Structure 1
Amino acid sequence: MFKDNALLAQLKHNIQESLPKEEGRVKATDKSFGFLETDDGKSYFIAPPNMKKVMHGDVITATIASEKGKEQAQPVALIKSALASFIGRVNLNKSKLSVTPPAPYKGSAINAVLADELYIDHGDYVIGELTGHPLNEAPNNALKIKISEVVSASADPFLPWYVTLARHNMRNECVPVDAPADKESWPLLHEELRRNDLNNSLFFTIDGETTQDMDDAICISALDDGGWQLQVAVADPSAYIAAGDDTDVAAKARGYTHYLPARTTTMLPESLSHDICSLRPNTTRPALVCTMTINERGQLQDAASFELAWITSKAKLSYQQVTHFVTNQPTELPDVAGLEASLNTLNAFAFARSMWRGKNSQLFDNQADYRLKLDYDNKITAIEASYNDVANSMVEEAMLCANISGAALLAQHSNQGVFNTHPGFDPDKTIKLAQLLQDHGYIYHSEHLKTRTGFCQLQRELTSRNDNYFAARLRKFQLYANIASEAQSHHGLGVAQYATWTSPIRKYGDLMNHRLIKAIACEGLPAPVPTPEDALQLKTQRDNQRMIERDIKNWLYIDFLHHAAKNKQKFKAQIFNVNRGGVLARLLKNGATVFIPFTNIHEDRKALKADSDAGTVSVNDEVVVKITDEVTVAVTDVNKNKLSITGSLLDSEL
């Protein structure tokens, strides 16, 4: 009898209006309930009936009411939908068309209609646009989707690539799919510039066996006092690309050459990156050459010189060839006079240089690089775990010296460029860090920890004690590496500034620095000055590139480990993170990331306690697993929609 009572309706409205309101983002759980999380850190429970009105990620306004002594959020208005536009998977059930949005969406498939005459099939991936939401006013107060575009057919072997690239393009980032437009010819610019003739010097390249875009070559000789003269010649794409022309604009929009499994998209047109600018053997190329002196202790001396030159690489070597040679394993080298002596000299330099860095800055762990081998259907057939070998270290030490020298030159002149920075520990956390260190037998003053010297000193001490767990734990006190347009410290490398310029074919930031160094060497040659906006764009592109590579690999791993999940196959793994829901581990055999929920660690959730700051999981106050631990896990589930692999922690050894 009260159904249509206007007074009752007004009363309910008045009560709702009198309740406090909060704006926040919806967070769904694996259960039927959820939470409203506000910007000021508050969290309000959303009961199951109200969760049917919202989706994970929605930004809403909700009234806050107390029920049974517990504050609850009741959604009242939609501010921004989490699914305004998304890429989802088509479901065709007889004549019913629906689309399943990607994780973290937790609901069922949403009814859909076609915007145009598109041909779609079950399992295809499409772009969907939300046209209806439960918090909208009628008649659009039910979940509805309009399909506007097909991203990939379900049977396309490049489906993971198309879907991943499309997802990132939807965030308004420029993600290359194909090589940039080429030209019929590339005339040499600024022919009037003087270039020294270094064609007779013994330059050589060391790269991967199949590498075509070779952008740096090395020439080294021993000095009478026991030190070395090192020359690094870097390809000069700016000899063919004018700043601001179409090719340069396209390169800047890309930022980097993207190396994805089974698909490489170059930053520059392939005729430049793979041929005209590439330092191919026995071919004269324009280059920018840095000449440095390193003393017998491995210390890089000041006053490196830079010059434009013509160089001819005398040999194209692979990392494997060089490693086999310096470790006295059978191998064949090109028949080039003096090459073997130069490789031995480079090896001696690299050893001295790494020893100096180990005593004065810091060295880094040799992490595994997992290389996926794919068949014609882009399915993984094998995964190779490789580590930096002797040859990698030889090249790395040479390029570090060149980049440190280039950064010093830029800092001395205009102090402008594209600088890689690492600020070390968060200054706001150093007091807490100093106390934690003291509790574990490390004595460091909080102010000293803020300095580059203090940061490196602590890293060296951690290495000397082989304290891998504590070193990993302290990463939570560090700030993230960044890219800046002015010189700033790089605590990780232990240098006042660091700017890469040795890969101008592959990285736009290197091309910008290359032009600046070239302008200094030529006095008066104009070069664009990087801005803070340029630095931010390069960092965004770099982060985006890493996420794309991660997502595509995860997709391929899920197919690869499908049978392992069916058979609950066991793997050795290393724990690298502890969060609120469980731990993350990396399978040592193939590099896949596995999530282990707490319920798969111990059956009694109440007895289990996770400490994300310490990186530990305890059962009845006894630590059972921590970051850096090597454990045995069984793969139990793979989920393509979530791009996740789930595992269970085992007690038994393999």
Structure 2
Amino acid sequence: MPTGRVVGIIKRNWRPFCGMLNQSQIKEATRHLFTPADRRIPRIRIETRQASTLVGQRIIVAIDGWPRNSRYPNGHFVRNLGGAGDKDTETEVLLLEHDVPHQPFSQAVLSFLPKMPWGITEEDLKVRADLRHLCVCSVDPPGCTDIDDALHCRELENGNLEVGVHIADVSHFIRPGNALDQEAASRGTTVYLCGKRIDMVPELLSSNLCSLRSNVERLAFSCIWEMNHKAEILNTRFTKSIINSKASLTYAEAQMRIDDASMNDDITKSLRGLNTLAKILKGQRIAKGALTLSSPEVRFHMDSETHDPIDLQTKELKDTNSMVEEFMLLANISVAQKIYEEFSECALLRKHPAPPPSNYDILIKAAKSRELEIRIDSAKALADSLNEAVLEDFPYFNTLLRILATRCMMQAVYFCSGMDSDFHHYGLASPIYTHFTSPIRRYSDIIVHRLLAVAINADSTYPDLMDKHKQSSLCNNLNYRHKMAQYAQRASVAFHTQLFFKNKGILNEEGFILFVRKNAIIILIPKFGLEGTVFFENNDKPGPRLNFDSEGPTLTVEDQHTFHIFDRVKVTISLDASNIQHQKIRMALVEPVAPFFQIPGVSVALPEPEPEAKKLKLDR
């Protein structure tokens, strides 16, 4: 094995750390050890006379130095966040630990908001397309207040269809370089936690002036296609516009309208036209090799008073979810083509690299264990073989396989077109892609709006946008903020999962083996979107005899039972609250019953969505 040693540190990455104090057992002592929440960080020695009041609290500590002869770095107490286990305190901790900017917007930022009351001006009417007569509507999750997209579909006199995607014109309110713009650029993205949203822009914009609510006039940026009934695009135009949404619907409400034959109003006709075209578009995408992957997404039902999770259920996706998604994807692709045509060196695009072949090893072995073949020579080959991998006696098998396929993928990233040559989006099977459809919650989309506005002569040139090095630096920050937002969201789901199991005692649930390791099995519980590990060894005693076959992969324990990937098992799930800072959900095997030794492993909440966010499937 290649080895090395650290000979010098170029730059220290010290930051304030959240965690808990371990009070010294020595009476009157002022020196104590602090244990960070992040297990990768060593304990820190601090001096404080407040130890007795800080025990059981979440606190912040900063490192001052690390003497070369000391086991621990030295630091100092910064501030008290609140009692460990308190929901608000733990939310603050996960935001700080994942470097999510979440302080209230400063007066300097708020000073650039439009003065109220605000309304459409004569000047707006002169320079924008007036689309208020169109039967535009939005379709979103229940309770969504930051509505940044709306749609319409109508038949033209020539028999073709006009389809429009109308996106909130956030860039009208956020001008380049001012404090509001700088704050949005720094935050990069809205962060959706369970029951809490950290806005990228102030609420006046996110939930009011930029939100495409029904029966109010709003500024939009519209992408409008003329299509035939085969969903072939005959022409595309982009325009700044004024719209008046006729309805703000949930997915369920939109689906009900489409399915109810007695409803034939303009909104319902528009939805049916959109739904029909969306199915054709999805078929075309899949034919090109676009992937349909899977993750067991769950939604918490909160108590109306305590806001604690009282129930968990798997999200049900309707046709209308897919309908909205297809047109958002199409708009993003159309805009990407336009801005790249106009600005080949400084277009902000999004790519999804193809995974290296070795990433697929576990997926190929998993399919082979059920005598099925997964082909990976192209995205289309992978998509086709996933579609064919069905077992009649095991309906959940294909979903498990797609969950594994999701784990093989690379991360999609923003980049500047002048700094890269590979534009391809592997998951969507598209040669070019960007983000245009969610400017309320993504700063990348605001930049894309500015580029598109210049491309269609709706706004003047922005100097910074024409500098590919500045654009590339911005992309780096956006990628970092997007990644940390995802981690914070997962941490929030994990914390609320712990709250859910707090008063449940021990539950018996059915699961499936997702991975087989040398000394453990990793189990997925679809009902709760939980993934947990059960180990078959003990460091203190001689462990059981284990026989791991990497080709299977299989794990045989004590020559009594062999575990295969995707085997159905039963486990107990319980909350281990013995360590208040690092509470864990434990999983232990119940069936198959076996006399061999096992250690219940720590479980993690699996979902990777933005729990209350907009439609995020397929990187749209």
Tell me the residue number matched to 2:276: 348
Give the secondary-structure state (helix, strand or coil) at the position aligned to 2:246: strand
Matches within 5 A, 1:65-80: none
Residue 320 of structure 1, CA deviation: 1.5
Report the residue type matching 1:480 in the other structure: Q
Decide whether the 8 Å contact of 1:177 with 1:265 is kept in 2.
no
Structure 1 residue 179 displacement after superposition: 5.2
Aligned partner of 1:401 among 330, 354, 357: 330
Equivalent residue, structure 1, for 2:548: 609
Please say if 1:571 is aligned against 2:480.
no
Whole-angstrom distance in 2 between the partners of 1:475 and 1:260: 22
Q: Deviations over 1:81-122 (max 9, x none)?
A: 999853221244675654333353699x8764228x798332
Contact kept, 8 Å, 1:616 with 1:623, in 2: the verdict is no
1:175 to 70, 78, 101: 101
What SS does structure 2 have at the residue aligned with 1:522? coil
Larger mean CA deviation between 494-503 and 81-90 belongs to: 81-90
Which whole-Å CA distance do the structure 2 matches of 1:495 and 1:248 have between them?
31
Three-state SS of the structure 2 residue aligned to 1:561 is helix
- Offset, 1:397: 1.3
Per-residue deviation, residues 201-258 of structure 1 (Å, max 9, x unmatched): 1111111231111111111124688863211111111112111111111001111111
Closer/same/farther in 2, CA of residues 413 and 627 from structure 1, 3 Å limit: farther
Q: Which of 25, 29, 35 is the matching residue for 1:100?
A: 35
8 Å CA contact retained: 1:179, 1:270: no
Task: Give unpaired runs (5+ residues) of structure 1.
Answer: 1-39, 44-58, 62-76
Q: Deviations over 1:502-531 (max 9, x none)?
A: 111111001111111111112662134262
Distance (Å, rounded) in 1 between the aligned partners of 2:576 and 2:565: 23
Whole-Å Cα distance in 2 between the matches of residues 84 and 429 of structure 1?
34
Task: Summarize deviations over 1:402-445 as a string: whole Å, max 9, x none.
Answer: 1111111122221333322112232788999999999977596x
Deviation per residue, 1:186-209 (Å, 9 max, x gap): 478985972111111111111123
Q: How does 1:255-404 map to 2 (within 5 A)?
A: 255-298=188-231, 300-301=232-233, 303-328=235-260, 337-365=265-293, 367-375=295-303, 376-404=305-333
Matched, 1:651 2:606: no
Contact 1:578 1:610 in 2 (8 A): no
Query: Of 542, 545, 554, which residue of structure 1 is paired with 2:494?
Result: 554
TM-score scaled by structure 2? 0.78
Q: What SS is found at the alignment partner of 2:528? A: coil
Q: 1:475 Cα deviation (Å)?
A: 5.9
Q: 1:91 to 1:435 in 2, by over 3 A?
A: closer
Tell me, in whole angstroms, the C-alpha distance in 2 between the residues paired with 1:281 and 1:118. 55
Structure 1 residues 164 and 579: alpha-carbon distance in aligned structure 2, compared to 1, 3 A threshold: farther
Deviates more, 1:182-191 or 1:343-352: 182-191
- 2:175 corresponds to 1:233: no
Correspondence for 1:37: none
Pairing 1:160-171 to 2, within 5 Å after superposition:
160-169=90-99
How far apart in 1 are the matches of 2:132 and 2:267?
Answer: 15
Q: What CA distance in whole angstroms lies between the structure 1 residues aligned with 2:359 and 2:87?
A: 48
Aligned to 1:148: 78
Trace 1:453-492 onto structure 2 (pairs within 5 A).
454-466=378-390, 468=398, 478-486=409-417, 488-492=423-427
Q: Which of 514, 530, 534 in structure 2 is aligned with 1:592?
A: 530
Letter in 2 for 1:609: F
Give the Cα–Cα distance (whole angstroms) in 1 for the partners of residues 374 and 44 of structure 2. Answer: 58
Q: Distance in 2 between matches of 1:480 and 1:588?
A: 24
TM-superposed CA distance for 1:161, in Å, is 0.7
Tell me the amino acid that sits aligned with residue 267 of structure 1.
Answer: M
| Secondary structure at the counterpart of residue 234 of structure 1 | strand
C-alpha distance in 2 between matches for 1:86 and 1:79: 21
CA distance in 2, matches of 1:297, 1:597: 54
Q: Are residues 533 and 582 of structure 1, via their aligned partners in 2, closer, same or farther at CA, if it must alter by over 3 Å?
A: farther
Q: Which moved more, 1:158-167 or 1:457-466?
A: 457-466
Instruction: Give me the CA root mean square deviation.
Output: 4.1
Contact 2:22 2:34 in 1 (8 A): yes
* CA deviation map 1:13-64 (0-9, x unaligned): xxxxxxxxxxxxxxxxxxxxxxxxxxx7449xxxxxxxxxxxxxxx867xxx
Equivalent residues in 2 for 1:23-42, closer than 5 Å:
41-42=2-3
* C-alpha separation in 1, matches of 2:56 and 2:586: 23
For 1:242 and 1:119, how far apart are their aligned partners in 2?
50
Please name the residue that 1:501 is paired with: 436
Q: Report whether the alignment pairs 1:518 with 2:453.
A: yes
Work out whether residues 182 and 270 of structure 1, in 8 Å CA contact, stay in contact via their aligned partners in 2: no
Instruction: Tell me whether 1:114 sits opposite 2:44 in the alignment.
Output: no
8 Å contact 1:634–1:647 — kept in the other structure? yes
**Residue aligned with 1:200, SS:** coil
Residues 232 and 583 of structure 1: CA distance in aligned 2, closer, same or farther (over 3 Å): same
CA change 1:534–1:558 in 2 (3 A) is same
Deviation at 1:373, TM superposition (A): 3.1
C-alpha deviation, 1:79, in angstroms: 11
Please give the alpha-carbon distance, in whole angstroms, between the structure 2 residues aligned to 1:208 and 1:339: 18
Distance 2:103 2:126 in 1: 36
With over 3 angstroms needed to count, the CA separation of the structure-2 counterparts of 1:239 and 1:475, relative to structure 1, is closer
Larger mean Cα displacement after TM superposition, 271-280 or 501-510: 271-280
1:52 is matched with none
**Residue of structure 2 aligned with 1:136, choices 41, 61, 68:** 68
For the residue of structure 1 that corresponds to 2:211, the secondary structure is coil
Q: Against the structure 1 CA distance between its residues 574 and 221, is the aligned structure 2 distance closer, same or farther, given a 3 Å change threshold? A: farther
Aligned pair partner of 1:536 in 476, 482, 497: 476
Amino acid at match of 2:381: Q
Against the structure 1 CA distance between its residues 616 and 421, is the aligned structure 2 distance closer, same or farther, given a 3 Å change threshold? farther
- Distance between the aligned counterparts of 1:156 and 1:304, measured in 2? 52
What secondary structure sits across from 2:201 in the alignment? coil
Which segment drifts farther, 538-547 or 85-94?
85-94
* Separation in structure 2 between the aligned mates of residue 207 and residue 512 of structure 1, nearest angstrom: 24
The letter for the 1-side match of 2:253 is Q
Q: How many pairs does the alignment contain?
A: 558
Partner SS for 1:320: helix
Q: Retained in 1: the 8 A contact 2:293–2:406? A: no
Q: Report the Cα distance in structure 1 between the residues aligned to 2:15 and 2:187, rounded to whole angstroms.
A: 26
> Structure 1: which amino acid aligns with 2:193?
L
* Contact 1:422–1:492 (8 Å) recurs in 2: yes
